[in-house]
Amino acid sequence: MRRLVYLTSARNDLADVLRRIAAESGDLAVAQAFVEKLVARCDNLADLPGTLGTHRPELRSDIRSLPHQGYVIFFRYGEERVEIVNVLNGRLDIERYFEGH
């Protein structure tokens, strides 16, 4: 099994998701439960390496994506690890986001 690694950008994104959902719902527990589900989805990437996600060469040659309840997990497979690159709201202009980063 490959090791799961969250890049700083992904950690920041998850913190943003937590804040946003807590603000929108008015309930921190709801936000925490949602982020826990996102993290569990990321765990699946390490458990089932190479089998999940869609290759996204229009963003970067090594990036794959996996949707989860209105958000998109962006990641890449390495020989020894799976890197979670970003976790973004699916309503964003994703191509524009990656052009700027």
The CATH number that domain 3-99 falls under is 3.30.2310.20
Domain boundaries, the chain: 3-99
3-state helix, strand, coil in the chain (%, to 5): 45, 25, 30
Q: Global pTM?
A: 0.91
The reported pLDDT for the residue numbered 35 is: 98
Highest mean pLDDT among 25-29, 42-46, 96-100: 25-29
- Alpha carbons 36 and 5: distance in angstroms, whole number: 16
- Alpha carbons 76 and 70: distance in angstroms, whole number: 20
The reported pLDDT for the residue numbered 11 is: 98
- Confidence at 26, pLDDT banded by 50, 70, 90: very high
State the amino acid at position 33 in one-letter form: A
By DSSP bridging, strand 3-6 and strand 54-55 are unpaired
Check if the beta carbon of residue 76 is closer than 8 Å to that of residue 64: yes
